[in-house]
Each structure stands twice: as C-alpha cells, then as structure tokens.
C-alpha cells in the first residue's frame, strides 16, 4: 500500500480504514484509533488518544531538536 490514500466520509460522518492499514496496525473489530485535530489536518494513530498525544509530543520534540541543531547562531541555541 502507498503511504497515502483517500477515504470517503458517509452522510453519517463515518469512514473506514483500508484493510491493509488495519492489518499492519493490528486493529481488530472494535479497536481504537486516536484522532487529533491539527487545524487544517488530522493526526490518526492506532492505539487511542493517549498514544496519539504521545506520538505528537515525540514528533514535535524531534523536530524542535532538529531545528535547534541547524541553528548557526550560538546565542540562539541555548534560548
């Protein structure tokens, strides 16, 4: 499966995860996903909201560390 896909939303607001993702993520009947509204996008993570929040924190911390590492101004690095 590609890293990207489309899904349709029904008139009741329901959608389904592609079978390949459900199998890879180990989501069975009644399994949980976490959804975080990012404004113009949504983060969808298997495992529920707590797992999604932890993943978002991890990604943001990694990006912050990468950004700090790329700073050329020594005075800004420790801010």
Map out the domains of the chain as residue ranges: 19-77
Distance CA 67, CA 11 (A): 42
Q: 32 or 70, which is more confident?
A: 32
Q: Give the integer Cα–Cα distance in Å for 70 and 76.
A: 11
Q: Over the stretch 6-53, which tens digit does the pLDDT of each residue have?
A: 889 999 999 888 888 888 889 988 889 999 898 998 888 899 999 999
pTM over 0.75: no
Judge whether 34 and 48 are in contact, CB under 8 Å: yes
């Amino acid at each position: 499966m590609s890293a990207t896909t489309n899904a349709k939303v029904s008139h009741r607001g329901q959608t389904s995860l592609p079978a390949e993702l459900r199998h890879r993520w180990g989501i069975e009947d009644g399994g949980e996903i976490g959804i975080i509204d990012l404004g113009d996008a949504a983060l969808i993570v298997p495992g529920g909201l707590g797992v999604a929040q932890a993943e978002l924190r991890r990604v943001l911390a990694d990006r912050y560390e990468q950004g700090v590492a790329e700073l050329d101004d020594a005075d800004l690095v420790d801010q």
